[in-house]
Amino acid sequence: MTYHRTLVAALATLATALPLAASAQEKVLNLYSARHYQTDEALYANFSKATGVRINRVDADDAGILARLKSEGTASPADVILLVDAARLWRAETDGLFQPVKSALLESRIPATLRGADTGQGSQWFGFSTRGRVIVYNKASVAKADADTYEELGDPKNKGKVCTRSGSHPYNLSLFGAVMQHLGEPATEAWLKGMVANMARAPKGGDTDQIKAVASGECQIALTNTYYLARMMRSSNPDDRAVVEKVGVVFPNQSSWGTHVNIAGAGVAKNSPNRAAAQQFLEYLASEQAQAYFADGNNEWPVVAGAKTTNPALDALGPFKAETIPVSVTGMNQTKVQQMLDRVGYK
């Protein structure tokens, strides 16, 4: 009788422990993401289906992600940090939120100019999609030749015609950091001062708002990332299509250094508890299938050479000459650029 009771108790203990053991063996990836695109759901679902790794996702804007990581410190459960824009990736690296990754696959598929600097242990972050920072202009009132370089945004001939979002927004900080790399500090500050003098109104809104302002005549020339324009080109909303019909687009500086490109990128969190799964996820983002999701789902260009896409808007925008300076440099320049913006009164 005593033996029987002991055996029953042991079996009950084992039955209780089994679900816990199975749960402990489940593969999990904690993703802190600043991307808010519905099309990315298929991207994540495909990774889980292919690998058996379940994704726990924390969504916030870039600033919120960085603030949360800092507050969590070494107790952070984050495995992968996914951010939009090189300026933000550089900030996260500077704040010590990443750890280096050495991956032959990532190094072979992602150009060195689109990933963090490698000091021998690997890069701390990698770009997985790109977008060009282009100029849109009102076709009825502006000649394309008057808006086909970034420098012309500060030329007196365009006085009263320019509108932008905040100069301190990371999209602009990265562009201005790239211009500084090309022109040097004094010329860049003079250019920014010229842009302020050319403003049709105070900086406000997002990139889509700039496109609409150009179409409505509120201003004549503006900056936008290509995926905002491509989204409107693919829209079934008649109002969006009407806006697109009124604006021209130019990839600036095709005769000089090329159009500024920026990235969405990711890295492995410094205190990642699931490092193997984190690196596996980064390598997945460089796969043919994931690159197609970025292009066809969210109108971004792939970073992997030869990746196949079926996006009619990207095809219509066509190939262009992109600048070749490392995006990490544009991030590093943002502090000096912000000081210039303060001096010239670019809000």
Strand ranges (E), 41-157: 54-59, 80-84, 98-99, 126-138
What distance lies between CA 307 and its chain's CA centroid? 18
C-alpha–C-alpha distance, residues 209 and 231, integer Å? 13
3 state SS of 161: coil
- pLDDT in the model for residue 25: 64
What stretches of 198-347 show up as alpha helix (H) in DSSP? 207-216, 226-233, 238-246, 275-285, 288-292, 298, 312-317, 327-332, 334-344
Question: Are the CB atoms for 218 and 201 separated by under 8 Å?
Answer: yes
Lookup: tokens for 199: 């403003």
Q: How far is CA 176 from CA 17, 111, 251, 262, 341, in A?
A: 58, 22, 16, 12, 10
* Reported pTM: 0.89
User: 3-state DSSP call for residue 206?
Assistant: coil
Lowest mean pLDDT among 21-30, 48-57, 313-322, 336-345: 21-30
Is the pLDDT score of 1 beyond 50? no
pLDDT digits (tens, 9 = 90+) for 123-178: 999 999 999 999 999 999 999 999 999 999 999 999 999 999 999 999 999 999 99
- Both tokens of 282, joined, read 């980064």
Closest CA to 173 of 305, 270, 85: 85
The string of pLDDT tens digits covering residues 29-57 is 999 999 988 778 889 999 999 999 999 99
C-alpha 280/C-alpha 283 separation (Å) is: 5
